[in-house]
Amino acid sequence: MADGITMLRVRNILDSDASRRYVVVSAPGKRFSGDTKVTDLLYETYDNVALRGETGEAFEKICERFRGIVSELGIDMDIDGLLRETGSAILQEATPDFCASRGEYLSARIMAKLWDAPFIDARDVVKFAPDGRLDGARTYSLLAAALKGKKRAVVSGFYGEDADGNVRTFSRGGSDISGAIVARAAGADLYENWTDVSGFMACDPRIVENPVPIRALSYKELRELSYMGANVLHSESIFPVREADIPIRIKNTFRPEDEGTDIVPTSRHVYSGRRVTGIAGKKNFTVIFLEKSLMNTEIGFTYRALGVLLRHNISFEHIPTGIDTMSFVIDGAELKNGVLDTVCEEMREAVHPDSLRVISDIALIAVVGHGMARSVGTSARLFEAIARAGVNVRMIDQGSSELNIIVGVDNESYDRTMKAVYEEFFE
């Protein structure tokens, strides 16, 4: 939704199929390298409001973007009045979530005018519970009522309203979640997610040149790949549609003729013949390694160790264990500014390990696929490929579902490992 030309593309896509009835749009992104996303400008606007009580230069840039879009579209719309109203609302509400939400709000208002469809403000229909989670029952009821009788509609994405009546946003990329919520409320046959890539690839194209496309994968495979860094679709967007067994189709706004990727309920997933569906990974993890003799006989050992992470509001990614060992794999970003030293000291006091070691700069690589459970020797091929690449494996974790195998390697070996694993299973 970066400019008027893209919005016209979206309208053409919508008009090309009458079954495309409801649309959720994102805020305008980058138009070119070095450009700034509107959402980032809105966060900068909030900083100006908080520090100086004015929207400042960042909001003026936002106004220029939206005026330019309306001008490109040539639609009869009082964009200046809408922008003045928005600026006043930002000053009045003065919260980061409200400010950040205005990109999707304005984008949806323009799209509704362009498509000649009713506009539905997510604040009125998407509700969060007091604990901050989506209030699904209330949201689906309100949204279904708002959509009833409308042949088509535009719903603003990325935000809703909390229990106190304030605007609350999802995490970045949350318009994907909003789209899934609308699909669930509408009882849709299909949730199409249009983006700037032609679906999922078997590996990161920044690492492997021209990786093979994934034509279909299951909800479970999507969850694993998205969580581990395949950022085509927000990892939480499957939950609303999964409850209703609504499939997802990823399509490219700029190449609508491309096949894309279908994401189907796991129960309906058809085995493709490939033992591995895709490979994804992330860098910069830290491992806290604990060793203690007879750990397995010590009641409450894990409970006390996890209590340290709980007190510091730290989440973990994995807990590989042995008979006398336990490791906590944690995103390194959560352990900065002295937090790591404090956590280690409290771990020593809580469980009195024989030894405690920290391993930093670890990359995790997930090899994902339903076919792994059907095929003998997948693990052997994986580790042989990594060994041939001259990489030392620092950690291994395999889920009981046999859907994935996760290996930990040094950050510096990440690209080499990804390439070696891809070549083994896809070339």
pLDDT at 271: 64
Q: Both 155 and 13 in a single domain? A: yes
Strands 261-264 and 167-169, by their bridges, are: unpaired
pLDDT at 399: 66
Residue 247 has pLDDT above 70, yes or no: yes
Average pLDDT of the chain is: 92
Mean pLDDT of 61-77: 96
Residue 231 structure tokens: 């950022």
CA distance 199 to 202: 10
Weakest mean pLDDT among 15-24, 160-169, 229-238, 359-368: 229-238
pLDDT at 237: 82
> Taking a C-beta distance cutoff of 8 angstroms, is the pair 2, 40 a contact?
no
CA distance 70 to 361: 47
3-state secondary structure of 321: strand
Mean pLDDT of 82-99: 96
25 pairs with which residues across the strands? 156
Domain boundary among 228, 253, 270: 270
CA distance 399 to 404: 6
pLDDT at 147: 97
Residue 385 has pLDDT above 70, yes or no: yes
Domain boundary among 248, 270, 292: 270
Strands 159-161 and 167-169, by their bridges, are: antiparallel
> Taking a C-beta distance cutoff of 8 angstroms, is the pair 409, 394 a contact?
yes
Residue 382 has pLDDT above 90, yes or no: yes
- Residue 418 pLDDT class (50, 70, 90 cuts): very high
pLDDT at 88: 97
Mean pLDDT of 36-63: 96
Q: Both 263 and 354 in a single domain? A: no
Judge residue 412's burial from the number of C-beta atoms within 10 Å of its C-beta, 0-12 exposed, 13-18 middle, 19 or more buried: exposed
Q: What is the CA radius of gyration of the chain?
A: 24
> Taking a C-beta distance cutoff of 8 angstroms, is the pair 290, 351 a contact?
yes
159 pairs with which residues across the strands? 169
Alpha-carbon dihedral of residues 36, 280, 175, 187, nearest 10 degrees?
A: 160
Q: Spell out where 240-350 has E strands.
A: 248-252, 261-264, 278-291, 325-331
Domain containing 265 equals: 192-270
Domain boundary among 163, 188, 213: 188
Q: How do residues 263-278 score in pLDDT, each as one tens digit?
A: 988 767 666 678 899 9
Q: Both 145 and 19 in a single domain? A: yes
pLDDT at 226: 81
Q: Both 25 and 151 in a single domain? A: yes
Mean pLDDT of 296-305: 93
CA distance 410 to 416: 11
CA distance 208 to 418: 8
Residue 201 has pLDDT above 80, yes or no: yes
Question: What distance separates the 2 farthest-apart alpha carbons in the chain?
Answer: 75
- Minimal CA–CA distance to 106: which of 192, 41, 162? 41
Sequence-distant (6+) residues with CB within 8 A of 209 are none
Q: Both 217 and 265 in a single domain? A: yes
Number of domains in the chain: 3
Weakest mean pLDDT among 15-19, 159-163, 237-241: 237-241
Residue 401 has pLDDT above 80, yes or no: no
Mean pLDDT of 133-150: 96
Q: Both 152 and 213 in a single domain? A: no
Q: Both 244 and 327 in a single domain? A: no
CATH number of the domain encompassing residue 215? 3.40.1160.10
- Residue 338 pLDDT class (50, 70, 90 cuts): very high
How far is C-alpha 392 from the chain's CA centre? 30
Q: Both 26 and 142 in a single domain? A: yes
CATH number of the domain encompassing residue 296? 3.30.2130.10
Q: How do residues 342-378 score in pLDDT, each as one tens digit?
A: 999 999 999 999 999 999 999 999 999 987 867 788 8
Give percent of the chain above pLDDT 70.
98
Q: Both 9 and 65 in a single domain? A: yes
Q: Both 139 and 165 in a single domain? A: yes
Residue 71 has pLDDT above 80, yes or no: yes
Residue 406 has pLDDT above 80, yes or no: yes
CA distance 136 to 143: 10
Mean pLDDT of 290-296: 93
Q: Both 183 and 261 in a single domain? A: no
Q: How do residues 386-397 score in pLDDT, each as one tens digit?
A: 999 999 999 888
